[in-house]
Structure 1
Amino acid sequence: MILGAIEAGGTKFVCAISDEALKIKERISIPTTTPEETLAAVFNFFDTYQVDAIGIGSFGPIDVNPLSSTYGYITSTPKPGWKNFPFLEKMKERYDIPFAWTTDVNAAAYGEIKKGAAVGKNSCIYITVGTGIGAGIVVDSKVIHGFGHPEAGHILVKRDERDSYEGTCPYHKDCLEGVAAGPAIGNRFGIKAQELPKDHVAWEIEAYYLAQALVNYTLVLSPEKIIFGGGVMKQTQLFPLIYKEFTKLMNGYVSTPELEEYIVPCALGDNAGITGCLLLAKESLV
């Protein structure tokens, strides 16, 4: 069995080939340029293999409703050239094989529950905090889709009283992504987030926004594990600040596991998405 995976991001596409045991045989990174140029490189990679199934985790928003006329499309993305692009259709035209189709963060969540920080659990949320904020949700060991897919990075949050920054989101301005993604941190203080001192007030403000999101996710979904990924969360000083704010905001209303065990960094690192895509590809053959 030969499995393929595509972690399709707004900056780069990561493509991989593995065997049935998910041992990766080859992996490449392709810059995300135009759809035509990017897919040409994707095809060039997969054409050299007799692939049995491919799992795709794509940046979005995407259409995940099989009953929709635009199923398999990247829809309202601000990424130039990719709006309303029939991604899955183009892949199926090239390869007559089963495909799994979901968001990049759903794929990462699935990778983490099967092979990473949430092994042994039935539910988890994976949140990536980087250039944007996205969240993937797994419940009863199944990726959550409905009419659409979760866009939990765009929930509305209360403003920190120290914060007057308008927000970066082109749709909502000061939603969670608008005030807490990497560009918002940098724009707010006029310096790249990773260059800020670890004791800068920026991290207290960031923790306040992220903790609000986690309280909301906990109250609505009650996941067994909350997992963070993305470049911003490599700032490990954020975790104790988030625990403090989460405790304050929840105020004892519902109980959770110990926060150090409940809110954790991802275990698979940059391999979470690819791992999830490979797993979903394998399951599409069952």
Structure 2
Amino acid sequence: MLAGVELGGTKVVVLRAQGQKIIDHRTIPTTTPQATLGAAVDILRTWHHETPYAAMGIGSFGPLQLNRQARDFGVMLPTPKPGWAGADIYAKLTAPFDCPVVIDTDVNGAALAELRWGAGAQGPVPSDSLCYITIGTGVGGGFAFNGRTVHGALHPEIGHIQVRRAPGDDFAGSCPFHGDCIEGLVSGPALARRFGAPGHSIASDDPRWDFVASDIAHLVTTILMNTAAQRILIGGGVGTGRADLLDRIRATAVTLAGGYLPYISDATIASVVRTPMLGDQAGPLGTVALALDALNGIDRL
């Protein structure tokens, strides 16, 4: 029996699984750290009394301290999410349970699940390099290359990359750290501020969507140039909610690539830049992938 916790900025999915199969899950809102993590632990305890866990996987929004040698391992670093800076995610969720645990970002977990069981595993030639982007409350990005998630001094923080702005776009951005980084330009709250109304209420033919498509396409081409990822998956409420926006992103990305990347063209871009094959299960299954790694003694950190 495996346990998983996907901690997002808006909601938390708590689950248990046998192998790759999720057999039970609960969803709770993300409020304060004490209330949210406490509710998650209560659910985990109930299931644990029925069948003890062999391993646990945690995928959380960030930024997180993921260096196991650091004194603040598993702690939330400064974040735009009010009240969550300094929250001890790892200790709170794991203290009641005696089993191996792997913690990573929610998007790294989703990338790993897509690599193993979703978009990375499909087609005549499976992919061994994949980037998973979620655009919703914030903008996050995870990377799974050669079967492993990517870390360095920290984990990837593509949401705070600053991109070249389209001519005529004067939106100042909403990120409290950087203003017009990509999260400050295209996240759900940023779109609400940009449009003066929630993004889902804005007609698809509104010309301001061209600015949004340009911003995301610049992020896509930055990732392609830096990592040569074979797949870039765009998920989240904003990412998957508008097929017309994805088409604009693809067309703009081809233009921005300028013929420099031999694997990017009008004919290939739809196979490279796409929605997650696992859909809204990529995140939950990411925690299962991390739990399986914990069970097998694979420490990704």
For residue 94 of structure 1, give the secondary structure of its aligned residue in structure 2: coil
> How far apart, in 2, do the equivalents of 1:175 and 1:44 lie?
37
2:199 aligns with 193
Alignment of 1:1-286 (within 5 A): 2-20=1-19, 22-48=20-46, 49=48, 50-119=52-121, 120-233=126-239, 234-257=241-264, 258-286=268-296
> How far apart, in 2, do the equivalents of 1:118 and 1:191 lie?
36
Shift of 1:107: 0.9
Shift of 1:259: 0.3
Shift of 1:204: 1.1
Shift of 1:202: 2.2
> How far apart, in 1, do the equivalents of 2:39 and 2:56 lie?
16
Shift of 1:183: 2.0
Identity of aligned pairs, percent? 37
> How far apart, in 1, do the equivalents of 2:4 and 2:70 lie?
24
Distance 1:80-1:181 versus aligned 2 partners, 3 A rule: closer
For residue 234 of structure 2, give the secondary structure of its aligned residue in structure 1: strand
Query: What is the TM-score when the length of structure 1 is the normalising length?
Result: 0.96
Shift of 1:90: 2.0
> How far apart, in 2, do the equivalents of 1:243 and 1:8 lie?
30
> How far apart, in 2, do the equivalents of 1:192 and 1:41 lie?
29
> How far apart, in 2, do the equivalents of 1:263 and 1:272 lie?
16
> How far apart, in 2, do the equivalents of 1:218 and 1:203 lie?
22
1:241 maps to a residue whose letter is R
> How far apart, in 1, do the equivalents of 2:23 and 2:146 lie?
30
Asked if 2 retains the 8 angstrom alpha-carbon contact of 1:185 and 1:202, the reply is no
Asked if 2 retains the 8 angstrom alpha-carbon contact of 1:65 and 1:146, the reply is no
> How far apart, in 1, do the equivalents of 2:229 and 2:188 lie?
25
For residue 210 of structure 1, give the secondary structure of its aligned residue in structure 2: helix
Shift of 1:153: 1.1
Q: Once superposed, what is the RMSD of the aligned Cα atoms?
A: 1.2
Shift of 1:186: 2.2
Asked if 1 retains the 8 angstrom alpha-carbon contact of 2:9 and 2:137, the reply is no
Encode CA deviations 1:194-218: one digit per residue, 9 max, x unaligned. 1111111122111101111111101
For residue 94 of structure 2, give the secondary structure of its aligned residue in structure 1: helix
> How far apart, in 2, do the equivalents of 1:24 and 1:249 lie?
40
Structure 1: gaps (5+ residues): none
Shift of 1:189: 2.0
For residue 168 of structure 1, give the secondary structure of its aligned residue in structure 2: coil
Query: What is the TM-score when the length of structure 2 is the normalising length?
Result: 0.91
For residue 143 of structure 2, give the secondary structure of its aligned residue in structure 1: strand
> How far apart, in 2, do the equivalents of 1:24 and 1:82 lie?
28
For residue 124 of structure 1, give the secondary structure of its aligned residue in structure 2: strand
2:196 maps to a residue whose letter is G
> How far apart, in 1, do the equivalents of 2:178 and 2:254 lie?
27
> How far apart, in 2, do the equivalents of 1:93 and 1:6 lie?
14
> How far apart, in 2, do the equivalents of 1:71 and 1:60 lie?
13
> How far apart, in 2, do the equivalents of 1:192 and 1:136 lie?
26
2:110 maps to a residue whose letter is A
1:105 maps to a residue whose letter is V
2:299 aligns with none
Range with bigger deviation, 252-261 or 229-238: 252-261
